[in-house]
Amino acid sequence: MTTFSSRTQNTSHLDEDPAFAMHRGGKLQVTSTVDVSDHEGLSLAYTPGVARVCDAIAEDAELVETYTWKSNLVAVVTDGTAVLGLGNIGPEASLPVMEGKSLLFKQFGGVDSVPIALNCTDTDEIVETVVRMSPSFGGINLEDIAAPRCFEIEAKLRERLDIPVFHDDQHGTAIVTVAAMHNAARLTGRTLADLRVVVSGAGAAGVAVTKMLIDGGIGDIAVADSKGMIYQGREGLTPIKQELASISNKAGLQGSIESALEGADVFVGLSAGEVPESVVATMAEDAIIFAMANPNPEVHPDVARKYASVVATGRSDFPNQINNVLAFPGVFRGAFDVQASDITENMKLAAAKALAGLVGDDLSADYVIPSSFDERVVPAVSAAVAAQARQDGVARR
């Protein structure tokens, strides 16, 4: 029989890879915020002192926000069905990513979080599970849940919970993309209203980016899935794609994404696949290319730069990384600071505007979005989100 110690020893060769070495034992731990080094401390932190706090919360449930960590605690919830670019790899294999998300919440936003990987892919069961554990948390961050279930799960949770629910694959990506798009348009002497955009991908990120660009005032935007352009009247559309068709593609473009890209101002890649250089060459002058597939962008930056004035990817080894860490820590920090009951569409737009505003006179083709390590990001985004929460009437303090 293989013992735990022998299994551990047998994996030691993996630690030659620095990624495995960093992940050994996990990336998180729970630490105490108070000192319990004597009997007095023990009697206050636990029995009998804790009973007085419990009684007070039982009489006034709102006190839980002050006397527990709930008000600064996010559940990072996944079912492991759409993990990074790896796909449906299951809950266990998703845990390193969820731990990483929690690490980023803490490091960048000062927000505590707990990774929760569910051994379940049924929409209603996931919703019920999250609802039942929600008294322990101040917010829910949905992560790496496959479309279209992710849309329904988020919608149902927002209906039933009075705490922020945020699907980062959708809204984090959208916030950062819209911020970068504002600055790319500004750099090329245009506004969002001047741009015709073609989006590749109608999954979680593609849908959210499209909707937020529309809310932000984009000129026209059309979305392609694996079967071509989405338009009103196309057969076999899911309810989500039917909604997309009703709010996008004013020009009624049909057929392939290649034909739609001819004369387009912007390409936004949020899917697998590759756009040939010959197609990129047909885009409009001063084109903008956001090729965000990982690890292989739909258009390699070296190719994109031949034809585009601004190029962004999802990778850290090229300029203008569209990285969700620019959004979600500040969004939750701001929501928690005012004890918001929801994260509204206006709050997301406010986050995008604040993020874009951090790039000033130093705007350039290689700098349309701040670095993930820019210390101004979280304060700017959180302040904008908190202020908008008050305007939207969802702030409770």
Helix (H) or strand (E) holding 209: helix 204-215
**Number of Cβ atoms within 10 Å of the Cβ of 85:** 11
Rg (CA), the chain: 23
Looking up tokens 């496959």 gives 146
Q: Determine whether the annotation assigns residue 169 to a binding site.
A: yes
Report the alpha-carbon distance of residue 126 to residue 79 in Å, rounded.
Answer: 8
What's the predicted TM-score (pTM) here?
A: 0.92
Q: Is 278 domain-assigned?
A: yes
Write the CATH number for 131.
3.40.50.10380
Contact 81, 144 (CB under 8 A): yes
Instruction: Give per-residue pLDDT as tens, 5-45.
Output: 444 557 778 878 888 888 888 898 888 999 899 999 999 99
Q: Is 90 domain-assigned?
A: yes
Q: Is 9 domain-assigned?
A: no
Picking from 251, 82, 75, the residue whose alpha carbon sits closest to that of residue 163 is 75
The token pair that represents 285 in the structure block: 């002058």
Q: Is 227 domain-assigned?
A: yes
In this structure, the answer to whether residues 215 and 164 fall within a common structural domain is no
Concerning whether 46 is annotated as a catalytic residue, the answer is: yes
In this structure, the answer to whether residues 180 and 108 fall within a common structural domain is no
In this structure, the answer to whether residues 182 and 270 fall within a common structural domain is yes
Q: Determine whether the annotation assigns residue 144 to a binding site.
A: yes
- The per-residue pLDDT for 10 is 74
Low-confidence ranges of the chain (pLDDT < 70): 1-9
Contact 294, 84 (CB under 8 A): yes
In this structure, the answer to whether residues 154 and 190 fall within a common structural domain is no
Q: Determine whether the annotation assigns residue 320 to a binding site.
A: no
In this structure, the answer to whether residues 357 and 232 fall within a common structural domain is yes
Q: Give the residue numbers spanning the domain of 51.
A: 21-168
Residue type, 242: Q
Residue type, 313: T
How many domains in the chain? 2
Report CA torsion sign: 294, 299, 300, 302.
Answer: negative
Q: Is 16 domain-assigned?
A: no
Helix (H) or strand (E) holding 387: helix 377-392
Report the alpha-carbon distance of residue 183 to residue 369 in Å, rounded.
Answer: 8
- Who contacts 206 (Cβ-Cβ below 8 Å, separation ≥6)? 199, 200, 223, 268, 270, 271
Beta bridge partners, 321, equal 313
Sheet containing strand 196-200, edge to edge, reads 228-229, 220-225, 196-200, 266-269, 287-291, 308-313
- Which of these is catalytic: 27, 67, 70, 101? 101
- Which of these is catalytic: 46, 67, 227, 306? 46
Q: Is 381 domain-assigned?
A: yes
The token pair that represents 384 in the structure block: 């904008």
In this structure, the answer to whether residues 75 and 203 fall within a common structural domain is no
Write the CATH number for 214.
3.40.50.720
- The per-residue pLDDT for 5 is 45
Concerning whether 367 is annotated as a catalytic residue, the answer is: no
In this structure, the answer to whether residues 157 and 175 fall within a common structural domain is no
In this structure, the answer to whether residues 187 and 98 fall within a common structural domain is no
**Considering 168, 202, 232, which residue would you say is the last residue of a domain?**
168
3-state SS track over 212-280: HHHHCCCCEEEEEECCEECCCCCCCCCHHHHHHHHHCCCCCCCCCHHHHCCCCCEEEECCCCCCCHHHH
189-195, long-range: CB < 8 A, 24+ apart:
189/286, 190/265, 190/286, 191/217, 192/216, 192/217, 192/218, 192/219, 193/217, 193/218, 193/219, 194/219, 194/265, 195/219, 195/220, 195/265, 195/266, 195/288
**Considering 140, 168, 196, which residue would you say is the last residue of a domain?**
168
The token pair that represents 83 in the structure block: 């993990």
- The per-residue pLDDT for 28 is 85
Q: Is 155 domain-assigned?
A: yes
Q: Is 3 domain-assigned?
A: no
In this structure, the answer to whether residues 147 and 269 fall within a common structural domain is no
- The per-residue pLDDT for 9 is 56
> How many residues belong to the chain?
397
In this structure, the answer to whether residues 131 and 228 fall within a common structural domain is no
The token pair that represents 378 in the structure block: 């979280």
**Considering 168, 199, 218, which residue would you say is the last residue of a domain?**
168
In this structure, the answer to whether residues 188 and 160 fall within a common structural domain is no
The token pair that represents 142 in the structure block: 């949905």
In this structure, the answer to whether residues 157 and 187 fall within a common structural domain is no
